Amino acid sequence: MKKLLLSSVVILIGFTFIGRLSYLQLFRFSPDQILDDPAIKKVYDYPERGYIYDRDGRLLVGNQPAYDVMVIPREVKPLDTLEFCGLLGIEKSEFIAKMEKARRYSSRLPSVLVPQLSKEDYASLQEKMRHFTGFYIQKRSLRYYNTKSAANVLGYISEVNEWDLQNNPYYVAGELKGRTGIEKQYEEVLRGRKGVKHIQKDRFNRDIGPYKEGKLDTLPQQGKEIHITLDKELQEYGEKLMHGKRGGIVAIEPKSGEILAMISGPTYDPALLVGRQRSKNYSKLHYDTISKPTWDRSILAQPSPGSPFKILNALVALQEGVIDPETKIRCYHGFYVGNTLRGCHCGGGIRDLNSGIYQSCNAYFAGTFRKIFDKYETTDKGMDVWEKHMRSFGLGDFLGTDLPTGAPGRIPNKEYYDKWYGDGRWAASTIISNSIGQGEIAATPLQLANMTAAIANRGYFYTPHIIKSIGSNGQIDPKFTEPHYTTIDRKHFEPVIEGMANVYNYGTARWLKIPDIEIAGKTGTVENYIKINGERMQLTDHSVFVAFAPVENPQIALAVYIENGYYGSRYAGHIASLLIEKYIKGKITRKDLEKRMLEKTLEHEYAKPYSGEPFKINEYVW
Amino acid sequence: MFGKGLFGRLDWITVILYALLVFIGWINIYSTSVGETDTSIFDFSTLYGKQLFFIGLAALGIIFVLFVESHFFERFASIFYIVSIVLLMGLFVFGKTIAGATSWYDLGFFNLQPSELAKVGTALALAKFLSDIQTDIRTGRHQLYALIIILLPALLILPQPDPGSSLIYFSLFFVLFREGFPIYYLGILIFAVVLFATTLMFGTVWVAIGLIILALLIYTFKKASVKIPVLPVLGVIIASILFSLSVNFVFENVFEQRHRDRFALWLSLEKDQKKLDEIRKTIGYNTYQSEKAIESGGFTGKGFLEGTRTKGDFVPEQHTDYIFSSVGEEWGFLGTSTVIILFSLFFLRLIYIAERQKSDFSRMYGYGVISILVFHYFINIGMVIGLLPTIGVPLPFFSYGGSGLIFFTMLLFIFLKLDSNRLKDGI
């Protein structure tokens, strides 16, 4: 017994150890993943973010260096705090608080003390930096904007948040990511791919050399430059014209579907969302819930389109064969729905297609609308046909553009009205407002511009898009080069376009004619209401205008929507006319017209409902 | 193998196992301490270079030991012991403090740790005392003498403070057990340890209830023919409860917080998982890191010099007390089990050799050597793999350190020398 005691103990210990070791190394074995091994540090090499150019190769967005002042707390030697704070432009208390924060994070690792110094601050600081041990300057790249316009299109970048980190393994805290606009849509193209170096470190986090001689390291992949379809000058000019006005403008090149301008008013300088003042500026913009500068009206606002929609009803009626261009309808300074007269401003009398369009006669289009429905035995059938035609113009649903946001608009269908009125309890006369583009129809300025492009092309459109080319080979998504045909035959467009041209020759926009350019257009004046504190108020009509030019071989199709701009030719018509001239001629000949648009604002209209006083709408004087 | 000379009589199996352990140990010290720019393994400014130098010294020590007359060790055992004790006492005056412990003499080129020397001295002295013809371990007086020989150096080492080394001396009880010291003492010791742990885990009340239930069970299921007197059983229960109460008192009032935390960790006393994790990463930082390193090695390990945690110095004291975690990370389960098997074979071989001694002194000294080595091995690896609380003792032949390596080697080779001489002992 006593001779075996020690041997037994040795064997027992051996088995216990091997048991424990198999538990640790075989059962609980968790190989160090390169991602979470505490002994491997990943150092990233960031490629420069791709530049953004306009359609003619003019720079819109580039990069600029910014300088972060970094600190490694344990290396800091006593310093002249006052002088240092003066150089950094911060208060002493702020300095102390930031130092404390850095120390709490880690005394051995660098923290950002003051982020994003400008080049000028950096210059003055750089000379003296060597006096301040423990501090150093780290360069980083920020976006630089070569324009004060197109903030809504370009979008902005910001640091990734918790959600991004959890949902996309590519990102590491502190990296930047496109949030809206082009920056978001083409994030991966612009960003490139960061390179990574694996560094073996010790438990104090000090580097002690490359891990596995750098076998796993990767090189950064440059971000690609992209060209977008915007015309920088047109965009900038449009934004200037929008000064003091709310609304959206979209201009499209009909033969390609390329978006030439996409303007939302009010807007902001994209440079506001870069640099040290970023978050302050962002809150200011974000919390302006009345004028909503960050809400892109060109693709998100969905007002009723108003009279431009009459063109589509005319096209549908022609396609269905219920009218021909000579069909006459009488206007009684309005039209009757049952026994009530609904008004019309066209002046009354006999209207045909041409004068119906250029005088924007409500009665003519109400009659046309009825004829479409009368062709079919049931209202439901008529509605289906009408809806199908409308949707073929890209209305009532998302267009499928390459913009990260958008709105579907609305083309009502029979289910919609069955729900609203009850099955069989409505007819063409019930929904007659749709004939003149009021009622339940809604469309974004982008959809209106696209619809206009489809008319300009006499029957087809390309999905509107903002990307012109990516990188050097220039490939873009093939879905943008595929025409979408409307359900209307080509031959029906000519009489309608003639009517639209006459809008400028004899009609509602006759004083907006551009010398030497033949334009086809259509005004719109849209009644609208607002609810403030539960009280429904009618506001001054929205001013809407769609147009394309030249009539033969169109180069530009656009839609302008100005909130509370009163009748169509007033604000929207003016702006449309100026933009077309600018785009086609490159200069403005009608300086008085231009001066008026640059100076006039609608701030007084926008203030009305919030004034708390009774107010008048649709005042004629201006 | 080498004829009938000294080398022929040396137990080469042990020598080869010894050499293997030293070699594997050095490989791992190299791995923990090699730098990116190092060029030569003989660079004595590096830890592995120094260890190589210590291995050289140990080799010299071996030669010295082997050429000394066998009886010298028996004859001068008491002198060794006295010198050890004097050196230990001298530390209070001349000691050099490293890492908070005053355990070293500064010899200029070398820091001498006398507690390592004292292990040799004590093992020799105990063997000498017990093998004396007049000693009878069954008598209380001689048991007391033996205890004094063992405990005196332990008491001198404790205040350095070096509780780990001090604890090692208790391993010499195995010598006593081998020589007829009543084995139920060991039973009492184990019972006390179990009581200690269960009291901390469940509290005195449950321990008392458990003991009573145990007693009742014994009475219920015992054979009718076996008579167990009631009074002594009652006495054992009462004594146990008193011990259990004293455990609480000692734990709360004598122990310091850091000791309490170690036990909290070891026995999972802290029920709050969050707090337990916190303790694991602070108080148990070393063990946590060493377990993680071992776990990450898996079956085959990451390969020589490929242990990222080893390279990154994530395990503190890895070249000394935590050297085994480097084996775990770089050589995996294959490596660790190989080392365990080598150590086990080594110890079993030594026990076999001890049992074949004709001289009582040689056998007893052998047992002393084995006990000391096994105890180091048990406490060190037990701590590194998270089975035992943190107690700082080196892994024999493996851990970095000159005094350790040289005196463990001397300890071993004195025994091998005695063994090589065993055939003459009878004459």
Report the SS3 class of residue A198.
strand
Q: What is the mean pLDDT of chain A?
A: 89
**pLDDT, tens digit, for every residue of B190-247?**
888 888 888 888 888 888 898 889 888 888 887 777 777 888 888 888 888 888 888 8
Residues counted in chain B = 427
**pLDDT, tens digit, for every residue of A269-309?**
999 988 778 888 999 998 988 889 999 999 999 999 999 99
| CB atoms B178 and A5 under 8 Å | yes
**Nearest-CA neighbor of B48 among B376, B405, B370, B423?**
B405
Chain A residues inside the 8 Å CB shell of B387: 16-17, 20
Chain A residues inside the 8 Å CB shell of B386: 20, 24
Which residue of chain A has the CA closest to B337?
A18
Cβ B111 vs Cβ B95: under 8 Å: no
Q: Measure in Å the smallest separation between the Cα of B346 and chain A Cα atoms.
A: 10
* Tokens 């004083």, located at residue: A511
| CB atoms B351 and A7 under 8 Å | yes
Q: How many CB atoms lie within 10 A of CB A110?
A: 18
Side chain identity, residue A327: T
Chain A residues inside the 8 Å CB shell of B314: 38-39, 202-203
Side chain identity, residue A584: I
In sequence order, the 6+-apart residues with CB closer than 8 A to the CB of A129 are A135, A136, A137
| CB atoms B312 and A17 under 8 Å | no
CA distances from A76 to A73, A138, B62 (A): 5, 17, 53
Global pTM reads 0.64
A79–chain B Cβ distance below 8 A for any pair: no
Q: What pLDDT is recorded for position B340?
A: 96
**Rounded to whole angstroms, how far apart are CA atoms A83 and A164?**
40
**Nearest-CA neighbor of A98 among A88, A282, A280?**
A88
Lowest mean pLDDT among A98-112, A347-361, A416-430: A98-112
**Mean pLDDT confidence for A242-264:** 95
Chain B residues inside the 8 Å CB shell of A33: none
Q: What pLDDT is recorded for position A362?
A: 92
**Rounded to whole angstroms, how far apart are CA atoms A454 and A436?**
19
CA angle B165, B168, B171 (to 5 degrees): 175
Chain B residues inside the 8 Å CB shell of A216: none
Cβ A306 vs Cβ A544: under 8 Å: yes
Report the SS3 class of residue A344.
coil
Q: Name the residue facing B347 among A10, A17, A209 (closest C-beta).
A: A10
Q: What pLDDT is recorded for position B3?
A: 52
Q: Name the residue facing A6 among B174, B309, B336 (closest C-beta).
A: B174
Encoded tokens for A479: 């879905």
Chain A residues inside the 8 Å CB shell of B370: 6
Report the SS3 class of residue A309.
helix
For chain A, the 3-state helix, strand and coil shares in percent, each to the nearest 5, are: 40, 25, 40
CA distances from A185 to A78, A155, A232, A574, B27 (A): 48, 9, 19, 33, 56
Whether the bond into A445 is cis, omega within 30 of 0: no
Sheet holding A535-549, edge to edge: A258-265, A247-253, A556-562, A535-549, A520-532
**Rounded to whole angstroms, how far apart are CA atoms A30 and A36?**
11
Cβ A375 vs Cβ A363: under 8 Å: no
Q: Name the residue facing A21 among B312, B337, B344 (closest C-beta).
A: B337
**Nearest-CA neighbor of A313 among A373, A230, A236?**
A373
**What residue spans of A491-570 are helical by DSSP H?**
493-505
**Mean pLDDT confidence for A356-369:** 92
For the range A206-215, what are the long-range contacts, defined as Cβ-Cβ under 8 Å and sequence gap of 24 or more?
A206/A108, A207/A41, A208/B36, A208/B311, A208/B312, A209/B36, A211/A40, A211/B308, A212/B306
| CB atoms A25 and B332 under 8 Å | yes
Report the SS3 class of residue A524.
strand
Encoded tokens for A187: 């994030």
Whether the bond into A38 is cis, omega within 30 of 0: no
Q: Name the residue facing A25 among B36, B299, B370 (closest C-beta).
A: B299
Chain A residues inside the 8 Å CB shell of B382: 17
Number of H helices, E strands in chain B: 20, 3
Side chain identity, residue A386: W
Report the SS3 class of residue A547.
strand
Encoded tokens for B131: 């093998």
**Nearest-CA neighbor of A601 among A327, A247, A244, A338?**
A244
**Nearest-CA neighbor of B320 among B260, B383, B259?**
B383
State the best of B31, B302, B309 to mutate against chain A, taking most chain A CBs within 10 Å. Answer: B309
Cβ A211 vs Cβ A59: under 8 Å: no
Q: How many CB atoms lie within 10 A of CB A133?
A: 13
**Rounded to whole angstroms, how far apart are CA atoms A586 and A486?**
32
Chain A residues inside the 8 Å CB shell of B183: 1-2, 5
**Rounded to whole angstroms, how far apart are CA atoms A537 and A558?**
30
Q: What pLDDT is recorded for position A75?
A: 79
Cβ B327 vs Cβ B303: under 8 Å: no
| CB atoms A25 and B177 under 8 Å | no
A10–chain B Cβ distance below 8 A for any pair: yes
B348–chain A Cβ distance below 8 A for any pair: yes
The neighbouring-strand residues paired with A465 are A258
Number of H helices, E strands in chain A: 21, 22
A201–chain B Cβ distance below 8 A for any pair: yes
CA angle A310, A330, A326 (to 5 degrees): 70
Name the pLDDT band for A219 (thresholds 50, 70, 90): confident
Query: How many A×B Cβ pairs under 8 Å?
Result: 121
Q: What pLDDT is recorded for position B384?
A: 93
Which residue of chain A has the CA closest to B302?
A31
A15–chain B Cβ distance below 8 A for any pair: no
Chain A residues inside the 8 Å CB shell of B378: 13
| CB atoms B328 and A29 under 8 Å | no
In sequence order, the 6+-apart residues with CB closer than 8 A to the CB of A370 are A428, A429, A432, A435
Neighbour-count burial of A287, counting CB atoms closer than 10 A to its CB (0-12 exposed, 13-18 middle, 19+ buried): exposed
Encoded tokens for A553: 């071989």
Chain A residues inside the 8 Å CB shell of B178: 2-3, 5-6
Q: What pLDDT is recorded for position B38?
A: 67
Encoded tokens for B72: 């010298």
**Mean pLDDT confidence for A361-365:** 93
Side chain identity, residue B128: K
A26–chain B Cβ distance below 8 A for any pair: yes
Q: Measure in Å the smallest separation between the Cα of B118 and chain A Cα atoms.
A: 22
Segment holding A179, helix H or strand E: none
In sequence order, the 6+-apart residues with CB closer than 8 A to the CB of A557 are A251, A252, A253, A254, A449, A452, A453, A455, A456, A546, A547, A548
Chain B residues inside the 8 Å CB shell of A31: 296, 298
Percent of chain A clearing pLDDT 70 (strictly above): 97
Lowest mean pLDDT among A350-364, A404-418, B94-108: B94-108
B303–chain A Cβ distance below 8 A for any pair: no
**Rounded to whole angstroms, how far apart are CA atoms B79 and A491?**
125
Chain B residues inside the 8 Å CB shell of A6: 174, 178, 347, 351, 367, 370-371, 374
Q: Name the residue facing A31 among B296, B343, B367 (closest C-beta).
A: B296
**Rounded to whole angstroms, how far apart are CA atoms B14 and B349?**
7
Chain B residues inside the 8 Å CB shell of A16: 387
Encoded tokens for A133: 């041990």
**Rounded to whole angstroms, how far apart are CA atoms A211 and B118?**
45
Encoded tokens for A50: 């791709």
**Rounded to whole angstroms, how far apart are CA atoms A251 and A231?**
10
Sign of CA dihedral A34, A37, A43, A47: positive
| CB atoms A10 and B381 under 8 Å | no
Cβ A403 vs Cβ A184: under 8 Å: no
**Rounded to whole angstroms, how far apart are CA atoms A250 and A447?**
9
| CB atoms B312 and A39 under 8 Å | yes
Q: Which residues of chain B have pLDDT under 50?
A: 1-2, 426-427
**Nearest-CA neighbor of A527 among A408, A362, A293, A404?**
A362
Start-to-end C-alpha separation, chain A: 117
| CB atoms B294 and A24 under 8 Å | yes
The DSSP call for residue A137 is E
CA angle B206, B208, B209 (to 5 degrees): 65
Report CA Rg, chain B. 23
Q: What pLDDT is recorded for position A551?
A: 94
Sign of CA dihedral B67, B70, B72, B74: positive
* Tokens 């440079």, located at residue: A271
Report CA Rg, chain A. 32
Side chain identity, residue A552: E
A17–chain B Cβ distance below 8 A for any pair: yes
**Nearest-CA neighbor of A565 among A599, A541, A547?**
A541
**pLDDT, tens digit, for every residue of A324-350?**
999 999 999 989 888 888 888 888 889
A34–chain B Cβ distance below 8 A for any pair: no
B25–chain A Cβ distance below 8 A for any pair: no
